[in-house]
Protein backbone atom coordinates (compact mmCIF):
# COMPACT_ATOMS: atom_id res chain seq x y z
CA UNK A 1 0.00 0.00 0.00
CA UNK A 2 1.12 3.55 -0.64
CA UNK A 3 0.16 6.60 1.39
CA UNK A 4 -1.59 9.52 -0.25
CA UNK A 5 -3.54 12.53 0.88
CA UNK A 6 -6.95 13.84 -0.02
CA UNK A 7 -9.93 15.69 1.39
CA UNK A 8 -12.62 13.60 3.06
CA UNK A 9 -15.92 13.94 4.85
CA UNK A 10 -15.41 12.01 8.12
CA UNK A 11 -19.17 11.61 8.55
CA UNK A 12 -22.34 12.90 6.87
CA UNK A 13 -22.36 16.18 8.81
CA UNK A 14 -18.61 16.87 8.65
CA UNK A 15 -17.07 19.46 6.34
CA UNK A 16 -14.33 18.12 4.05
CA UNK A 17 -10.95 18.01 5.82
CA UNK A 18 -7.44 16.79 4.93
CA UNK A 19 -7.24 13.00 5.15
CA UNK A 20 -4.33 10.59 4.75
CA UNK A 21 -5.15 7.16 3.30
CA UNK A 22 -3.71 4.35 1.20
CA UNK A 23 -3.90 3.42 -2.48
CA UNK A 24 -3.18 -0.18 -3.48
CA UNK A 25 0.22 -1.17 -4.88
CA UNK A 26 0.21 -1.37 -8.67
CA UNK A 27 -1.10 -4.66 -10.05
CA UNK A 28 -0.13 -5.82 -13.55
CA UNK A 29 -2.90 -3.89 -15.35
CA UNK A 30 -2.91 -0.83 -13.10
CA UNK A 31 -2.09 2.75 -13.96
CA UNK A 32 -0.96 5.15 -11.24
CA UNK A 33 -2.07 8.73 -11.89
CA UNK A 34 -1.04 12.01 -10.34
CA UNK A 35 -4.29 13.97 -10.17
CA UNK A 36 -4.02 17.54 -11.49
CA UNK A 37 -7.69 18.57 -11.52
CA UNK A 38 -10.98 17.25 -10.19
CA UNK A 39 -14.41 18.65 -10.99
CA UNK A 40 -17.06 19.23 -8.33
CA UNK A 41 -20.25 17.35 -9.22
CA UNK A 42 -23.55 18.01 -7.43
CA UNK A 43 -23.68 14.28 -6.68
CA UNK A 44 -20.50 14.67 -4.58
CA UNK A 45 -22.54 16.85 -2.22
CA UNK A 46 -25.47 14.41 -2.12
CA UNK A 47 -23.11 11.59 -1.22
CA UNK A 48 -20.93 13.29 1.43
CA UNK A 49 -24.15 14.42 3.13
CA UNK A 50 -25.54 10.90 2.73
CA UNK A 51 -28.71 12.19 1.05
CA UNK A 52 -28.97 9.05 -1.08
CA UNK A 53 -28.27 6.71 1.88
CA UNK A 54 -25.63 3.95 2.00
CA UNK A 55 -22.72 6.38 2.38
CA UNK A 56 -19.50 4.86 3.76
CA UNK A 57 -17.28 7.22 5.78
CA UNK A 58 -14.66 8.61 5.72
CA UNK A 59 -15.56 9.48 2.11
CA UNK A 60 -13.20 11.07 -0.43
CA UNK A 61 -15.47 12.27 -3.25
CA UNK A 62 -14.57 13.19 -6.84
CA UNK A 63 -15.26 11.51 -10.18
CA UNK A 64 -14.22 14.12 -12.74
CA UNK A 65 -10.51 13.40 -12.65
CA UNK A 66 -7.74 14.55 -14.98
CA UNK A 67 -4.07 13.86 -14.39
CA UNK A 68 -0.77 12.49 -15.65
CA UNK A 69 0.35 8.87 -15.64
CA UNK A 70 3.20 8.39 -13.17
CA UNK A 71 3.76 4.63 -13.35
CA UNK A 72 2.21 1.61 -15.07
CA UNK A 73 1.96 -2.10 -14.16
CA UNK A 74 3.85 -4.80 -16.08
CA UNK A 75 0.92 -5.70 -18.38
CA UNK A 76 -0.19 -2.17 -19.25
CA UNK A 77 -0.08 -1.55 -22.99
CA UNK A 78 -2.39 1.43 -23.43
CA UNK A 79 -0.57 4.06 -21.34
CA UNK A 80 2.90 5.23 -20.39
CA UNK A 81 4.35 7.68 -17.87
CA UNK A 82 3.62 11.29 -18.82
CA UNK A 83 0.34 10.61 -20.69
CA UNK A 84 -2.61 12.90 -19.92
CA UNK A 85 -5.54 10.80 -18.79
CA UNK A 86 -9.01 10.98 -17.27
CA UNK A 87 -11.06 8.91 -14.84
CA UNK A 88 -14.82 9.27 -14.65
CA UNK A 89 -17.54 7.75 -12.49
CA UNK A 90 -16.51 4.08 -12.87
CA UNK A 91 -13.25 2.22 -12.23
CA UNK A 92 -14.27 -1.42 -12.75
CA UNK A 93 -17.10 -3.76 -13.80
CA UNK A 94 -17.61 -7.51 -14.21
CA UNK A 95 -16.56 -7.58 -17.87
CA UNK A 96 -18.73 -10.57 -18.79
CA UNK A 97 -22.41 -9.56 -18.42
CA UNK A 98 -24.55 -8.40 -21.36
CA UNK A 99 -24.15 -4.74 -20.36
CA UNK A 100 -20.36 -5.04 -20.21
CA UNK A 101 -20.25 -6.94 -23.52
CA UNK A 102 -22.30 -4.12 -25.09
CA UNK A 103 -19.81 -1.48 -23.80
CA UNK A 104 -22.43 -0.21 -21.35
CA UNK A 105 -20.54 -0.89 -18.12
CA UNK A 106 -22.46 1.83 -16.31
CA UNK A 107 -25.45 -0.54 -16.18
CA UNK A 108 -23.44 -3.56 -14.96
CA UNK A 109 -24.77 -4.81 -11.62
CA UNK A 110 -21.17 -5.19 -10.46
CA UNK A 111 -19.94 -1.80 -11.70
CA UNK A 112 -17.47 -0.31 -9.24
CA UNK A 113 -17.85 3.41 -8.82
CA UNK A 114 -14.91 5.75 -8.32
CA UNK A 115 -15.78 6.46 -4.69
CA UNK A 116 -18.24 5.36 -2.01
CA UNK A 117 -18.29 1.89 -3.61
CA UNK A 118 -16.66 -1.37 -2.39
CA UNK A 119 -13.13 -2.02 -3.71
CA UNK A 120 -13.03 -5.69 -4.71
CA UNK A 121 -9.21 -5.73 -4.60
CA UNK A 122 -8.71 -4.56 -1.02
CA UNK A 123 -12.13 -5.28 0.53
CA UNK A 124 -12.26 -1.62 1.55
CA UNK A 125 -14.03 1.33 0.00
CA UNK A 126 -12.96 3.31 -3.05
CA UNK A 127 -11.68 6.83 -2.51
CA UNK A 128 -12.24 9.42 -5.23
CA UNK A 129 -10.48 12.24 -6.96
CA UNK A 130 -10.19 14.95 -4.30
CA UNK A 131 -6.74 13.50 -3.71
CA UNK A 132 -3.19 13.58 -4.95
CA UNK A 133 -3.10 10.26 -6.75
CA UNK A 134 -5.21 7.29 -7.79
CA UNK A 135 -4.59 3.74 -9.03
CA UNK A 136 -6.98 2.38 -11.69
CA UNK A 137 -7.13 -0.61 -14.05
CA UNK A 138 -6.12 0.50 -17.57
CA UNK A 139 -9.50 -0.51 -19.05
CA UNK A 140 -11.13 2.35 -17.09
CA UNK A 141 -8.52 4.98 -17.88
CA UNK A 142 -9.28 7.43 -20.71
CA UNK A 143 -6.99 9.27 -23.09
CA UNK A 144 -7.12 13.05 -22.85
CA UNK A 145 -5.80 15.30 -25.60
CA UNK A 146 -3.13 17.79 -24.56
CA UNK A 147 -4.60 20.27 -27.05
CA UNK A 148 -7.41 21.01 -24.56
CA UNK A 149 -7.22 22.94 -21.28
CA UNK A 150 -6.89 20.01 -18.84
CA UNK A 151 -8.73 21.77 -16.01
CA UNK A 152 -11.72 22.41 -18.29
CA UNK A 153 -11.66 18.78 -19.47
CA UNK A 154 -12.31 17.42 -15.95
CA UNK A 155 -16.10 18.03 -15.95
CA UNK A 156 -16.42 16.19 -19.26
CA UNK A 157 -15.82 12.95 -17.33
CA UNK A 158 -19.26 13.18 -15.66
CA UNK A 159 -21.24 16.24 -16.80
CA UNK A 160 -19.94 15.83 -20.36
CA UNK A 161 -20.72 12.15 -20.88
CA UNK A 162 -24.03 12.41 -18.99
CA UNK A 163 -25.31 14.82 -21.65
CA UNK A 164 -23.41 13.49 -24.70
CA UNK A 165 -24.66 9.91 -24.31
CA UNK A 166 -28.44 10.55 -24.45
CA UNK A 167 -28.07 13.05 -27.32
CA UNK A 168 -26.23 10.31 -29.24
CA UNK A 169 -28.58 7.49 -28.19
CA UNK A 170 -31.63 9.42 -29.41
CA UNK A 171 -29.68 10.41 -32.56
CA UNK A 172 -29.91 14.17 -32.19
CA UNK A 173 -28.61 15.90 -35.30
CA UNK A 174 -29.22 18.43 -38.05
CA UNK A 175 -32.84 19.42 -38.51
CA UNK A 176 -33.86 18.37 -34.99
CA UNK A 177 -35.42 20.77 -32.53
CA UNK A 178 -33.89 19.98 -29.16
CA UNK A 179 -34.65 21.37 -25.72
CA UNK A 180 -32.22 21.50 -22.80
CA UNK A 181 -33.83 22.08 -19.40
CA UNK A 182 -31.60 23.86 -16.87
CA UNK A 183 -28.34 25.72 -17.39
CA UNK A 184 -26.03 24.29 -14.74
CA UNK A 185 -23.03 21.96 -14.94
CA UNK A 186 -24.98 19.42 -17.00
CA UNK A 187 -27.18 21.83 -18.95
CA UNK A 188 -24.37 24.00 -20.27
CA UNK A 189 -22.67 20.88 -21.67
CA UNK A 190 -26.00 19.74 -23.16
CA UNK A 191 -26.29 23.06 -25.00
CA UNK A 192 -22.72 22.79 -26.32
CA UNK A 193 -23.15 19.22 -27.57
CA UNK A 194 -26.62 19.67 -29.09
CA UNK A 195 -25.31 22.75 -30.90
CA UNK A 196 -22.19 20.86 -32.10
CA UNK A 197 -24.43 18.05 -33.42
CA UNK A 198 -26.24 20.62 -35.59
CA UNK A 199 -29.60 20.75 -33.79
CA UNK A 200 -31.77 23.84 -33.27
CA UNK A 201 -31.27 24.29 -29.51
CA UNK A 202 -33.79 25.81 -27.12
CA UNK A 203 -32.67 26.34 -23.53
CA UNK A 204 -35.33 26.27 -20.81
CA UNK A 205 -34.45 28.14 -17.64
CA UNK A 206 -36.25 29.62 -14.67
CA UNK A 207 -33.85 32.60 -14.42
CA UNK A 208 -33.99 35.20 -17.17
CA UNK A 209 -30.46 36.39 -16.30
CA UNK A 210 -29.04 33.34 -18.09
CA UNK A 211 -30.32 34.31 -21.54
CA UNK A 212 -27.08 35.88 -22.83
CA UNK A 213 -24.93 33.06 -21.49
CA UNK A 214 -27.12 30.42 -23.10
CA UNK A 215 -26.91 32.10 -26.50
CA UNK A 216 -23.13 32.41 -26.27
CA UNK A 217 -22.90 28.71 -25.34
CA UNK A 218 -24.79 27.76 -28.51
CA UNK A 219 -28.54 28.00 -27.80
CA UNK A 220 -30.67 29.37 -30.65
CA UNK A 221 -33.52 30.36 -28.34
CA UNK A 222 -34.07 30.72 -24.61
CA UNK A 223 -37.47 30.20 -22.98
CA UNK A 224 -38.19 31.13 -19.38
CA UNK A 225 -40.16 28.07 -18.36
CA UNK A 226 -42.33 29.91 -15.81
CA UNK A 227 -43.75 32.02 -18.65
CA UNK A 228 -46.84 30.06 -19.79
CA UNK A 229 -47.35 32.13 -22.96
CA UNK A 230 -43.74 31.58 -24.05
CA UNK A 231 -44.07 27.84 -23.37
CA UNK A 232 -47.36 27.63 -25.29
CA UNK A 233 -45.62 28.82 -28.47
CA UNK A 234 -43.62 25.55 -28.48
CA UNK A 235 -46.42 22.99 -27.96
CA UNK A 236 -45.83 19.70 -29.87
CA UNK A 237 -42.70 20.96 -31.62
CA UNK A 238 -39.67 19.21 -30.07
CA UNK A 239 -37.99 16.01 -31.26
CA UNK A 240 -36.10 15.59 -28.02
CA UNK A 241 -35.80 17.35 -24.66
CA UNK A 242 -32.91 16.67 -22.28
CA UNK A 243 -33.95 17.53 -18.74
CA UNK A 244 -30.97 18.14 -16.42
CA UNK A 245 -32.91 19.46 -13.42
CA UNK A 246 -32.95 17.16 -10.39
CA UNK A 247 -35.11 19.33 -8.13
CA UNK A 248 -38.71 18.12 -8.07
CA UNK A 249 -40.74 19.88 -10.80
CA UNK A 250 -43.74 19.35 -13.09
CA UNK A 251 -42.71 17.24 -16.09
CA UNK A 252 -46.06 17.64 -17.88
CA UNK A 253 -45.16 21.15 -19.07
CA UNK A 254 -42.25 19.60 -21.00
CA UNK A 255 -43.92 16.43 -22.32
CA UNK A 256 -46.58 18.73 -23.84
CA UNK A 257 -43.86 20.35 -25.93
CA UNK A 258 -42.82 17.09 -27.62
CA UNK A 259 -43.87 16.15 -31.15
CA UNK A 260 -45.45 12.78 -31.84
CA UNK A 261 -42.90 10.11 -30.78
CA UNK A 262 -40.72 12.70 -29.08
CA UNK A 263 -38.71 11.84 -25.96
CA UNK A 264 -38.18 13.69 -22.69
CA UNK A 265 -34.97 12.25 -21.20
CA UNK A 266 -34.15 12.79 -17.51
CA UNK A 267 -30.53 12.82 -16.29
CA UNK A 268 -30.91 14.45 -12.86
CA UNK A 269 -31.66 12.06 -9.99
CA UNK A 270 -34.41 13.68 -7.86
CA UNK A 271 -34.45 13.51 -4.05
CA UNK A 272 -38.27 13.80 -4.17
CA UNK A 273 -40.46 12.43 -6.99
CA UNK A 274 -41.46 14.72 -9.85
CA UNK A 275 -45.18 15.43 -9.99
CA UNK A 276 -46.30 14.26 -13.41
CA UNK A 277 -49.91 13.37 -13.85
CA UNK A 278 -50.72 13.75 -17.51
CA UNK A 279 -50.57 10.27 -18.98
CA UNK A 280 -52.79 11.71 -21.73
CA UNK A 281 -49.81 13.86 -22.79
CA UNK A 282 -47.97 10.61 -23.50
CA UNK A 283 -50.79 8.51 -24.94
CA UNK A 284 -52.21 10.97 -27.45
CA UNK A 285 -48.86 11.59 -29.17
CA UNK A 286 -46.99 8.35 -28.35
CA UNK A 287 -44.50 10.48 -26.40
CA UNK A 288 -41.97 8.93 -24.05
CA UNK A 289 -40.30 9.80 -20.76
CA UNK A 290 -36.88 8.14 -20.47
CA UNK A 291 -33.74 8.22 -18.34
CA UNK A 292 -30.01 7.95 -19.02
CA UNK A 293 -26.93 7.27 -16.86
CA UNK A 294 -23.45 8.63 -17.78
CA UNK A 295 -22.03 6.45 -20.62
CA UNK A 296 -19.81 3.41 -21.13
CA UNK A 297 -16.03 3.66 -21.29
CA UNK A 298 -15.96 3.32 -25.09
CA UNK A 299 -18.47 6.13 -25.53
CA UNK A 300 -16.70 8.30 -22.94
CA UNK A 301 -13.50 8.02 -25.00
CA UNK A 302 -15.49 8.83 -28.16
CA UNK A 303 -16.87 11.94 -26.38
CA UNK A 304 -13.38 13.07 -25.28
CA UNK A 305 -12.09 12.62 -28.85
CA UNK A 306 -15.10 14.56 -30.21
CA UNK A 307 -14.32 17.37 -27.75
CA UNK A 308 -10.66 17.46 -28.84
CA UNK A 309 -11.70 17.61 -32.49
CA UNK A 310 -14.29 20.34 -31.93
CA UNK A 311 -12.46 22.22 -29.16
CA UNK A 312 -15.23 21.68 -26.60
CA UNK A 313 -14.60 21.90 -22.85
CA UNK A 314 -16.58 22.89 -19.80
CA UNK A 315 -16.85 26.50 -18.57
CA UNK A 316 -15.20 26.39 -15.18
CA UNK A 317 -14.12 28.27 -12.09
CA UNK A 318 -10.87 26.92 -10.61
CA UNK A 319 -10.58 26.71 -6.82
CA UNK A 320 -7.88 25.60 -4.39
CA UNK A 321 -8.89 22.53 -2.36
CA UNK A 322 -9.02 24.69 0.78
CA UNK A 323 -12.14 26.43 -0.67
CA UNK A 324 -14.08 23.20 -1.25
CA UNK A 325 -16.61 23.62 1.56
CA UNK A 326 -17.38 27.16 0.41
CA UNK A 327 -17.72 25.89 -3.16
CA UNK A 328 -20.32 23.32 -2.02
CA UNK A 329 -22.47 26.09 -0.54
CA UNK A 330 -22.23 28.00 -3.81
CA UNK A 331 -23.19 24.92 -5.87
CA UNK A 332 -26.30 24.57 -3.72
CA UNK A 333 -27.21 28.17 -4.60
CA UNK A 334 -26.47 27.60 -8.32
CA UNK A 335 -23.79 30.26 -7.91
CA UNK A 336 -21.24 28.84 -10.35
CA UNK A 337 -20.72 29.27 -14.09
CA UNK A 338 -20.75 26.40 -14.70
CA UNK A 339 -18.53 23.94 -12.84
CA UNK A 340 -16.02 24.24 -10.02
CA UNK A 341 -12.75 22.43 -10.70
CA UNK A 342 -10.27 21.84 -7.89
CA UNK A 343 -6.62 22.51 -8.67
CA UNK A 344 -5.14 19.50 -6.87
CA UNK A 345 -1.70 21.13 -6.93
CA UNK A 346 -2.93 23.27 -4.04
CA UNK A 347 -3.23 20.13 -1.90
CA UNK A 348 0.44 19.39 -2.51
CA UNK A 349 1.61 22.85 -1.48
CA UNK A 350 -0.24 22.94 1.79
CA UNK A 351 0.60 19.45 3.03
CA UNK A 352 4.14 18.69 1.90
Closest CA to 169 of 263, 252, 77: 263
- For position 165 contacting Zn ion by CB under 5 A, the verdict is no
DSSP designation for 208: G
Distance (Å, whole) CA 261 – CA 237: 11
Q: Are the CB atoms for 280 and 149 separated by under 8 Å?
A: no
Q: Shortest distance, CB of residue 288 to Zn ion, whole angstroms?
A: 25
- For position 43 contacting Zn ion by CB under 5 A, the verdict is yes
Query: Given candidates 4, 32, 84, 93, which one binds Zn ion under the rule CB under 5 A?
Result: 93
Pick 188 or 200: Cβ nearer Zn ion: 188
Pick 97 or 293: Cβ nearer Zn ion: 97
Strand segments (E) across 46-186: 65-72, 84-87, 90-92, 112-113, 133-137, 142-143, 177-181
DSSP-assigned states of every residue in 150-207: HHHHGGGGTHHHHHHHHHHHTT--TT-EEEEE--SHHHHHHHHHHHHTT-EEEEEES-
Q: Phi and psi at residue 102, in whole multiples of 5°?
A: -90, 15
Query: Given candidates 45, 97, 215, 231, which one binds Zn ion under the rule CB under 5 A?
Result: 97
Select the span of 106-114, 128-136, 223-231, 280-288 touching Zn ion (CB under 5 A).
106-114
- For position 94 contacting Zn ion by CB under 5 A, the verdict is yes
Pick 72 or 189: Cβ nearer Zn ion: 189
- For position 244 contacting Zn ion by CB under 5 A, the verdict is no
Select the span of 35-43, 76-84, 122-130, 257-265 touching Zn ion (CB under 5 A).
35-43
Identify the helix (H) or strand (E) that includes residue 263: strand 258-266
Binding to Zn ion, residues 276-315 (CB under 5 A): none
Select the span of 29-37, 75-83, 154-162, 204-212 touching Zn ion (CB under 5 A).
154-162
- For position 117 contacting Zn ion by CB under 5 A, the verdict is no
**Contacts of 201-207 spanning 24+ positions with Cβ under 8 A:** 202/177, 202/178, 202/234, 202/238, 203/179, 204/179, 204/180, 204/241, 204/254
- For position 108 contacting Zn ion by CB under 5 A, the verdict is yes
Distance (Å, whole) CA 77 – CA 132: 24
Distance (Å, whole) CA 283 – CA 44: 37
- For position 267 contacting Zn ion by CB under 5 A, the verdict is no
Distance (Å, whole) CA 160 – CA 319: 20
Distance (Å, whole) CA 219 – CA 217: 6
Closest CA to 114 of 13, 33, 12, 20: 33
Q: Shortest distance, CB of residue 298 to Zn ion, whole angstroms?
A: 14
Pick 198 or 291: Cβ nearer Zn ion: 291
- For position 100 contacting Zn ion by CB under 5 A, the verdict is yes
Query: Given candidates 158, 183, 186, 253, which one binds Zn ion under the rule CB under 5 A?
Result: 158
Q: Shortest distance, CB of residue 125 to Zn ion, whole angstroms?
A: 18
Distance (Å, whole) CA 30 – CA 27: 5
Pick 8 or 223: Cβ nearer Zn ion: 8
Pick 76 or 111: Cβ nearer Zn ion: 111
The number of residues that bind Zn ion (CB under 5 A) is 8
- For position 199 contacting Zn ion by CB under 5 A, the verdict is no
Distance (Å, whole) CA 225 – CA 343: 35
Select the span of 152-160, 252-260, 273-281, 295-303 touching Zn ion (CB under 5 A).
152-160
Pick 65 or 258: Cβ nearer Zn ion: 65
Q: Shortest distance, CB of residue 98 to Zn ion, whole angstroms?
A: 8
Interface residues with Zn ion (CB under 5 A) are 41, 43, 93-94, 97, 100, 108, 158
Amino acid sequence: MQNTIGYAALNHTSPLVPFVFQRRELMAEDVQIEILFCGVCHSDIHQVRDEWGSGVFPMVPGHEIVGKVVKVGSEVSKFKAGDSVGIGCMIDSCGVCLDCLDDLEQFCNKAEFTYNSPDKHTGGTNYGGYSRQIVVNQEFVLNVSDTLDLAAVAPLLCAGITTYSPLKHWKVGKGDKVGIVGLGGLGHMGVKFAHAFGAHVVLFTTSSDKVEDAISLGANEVVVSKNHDAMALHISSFDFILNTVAASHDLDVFTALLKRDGTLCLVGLPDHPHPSSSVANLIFKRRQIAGSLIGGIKETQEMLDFCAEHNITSDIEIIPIQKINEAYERVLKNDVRYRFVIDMGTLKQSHE
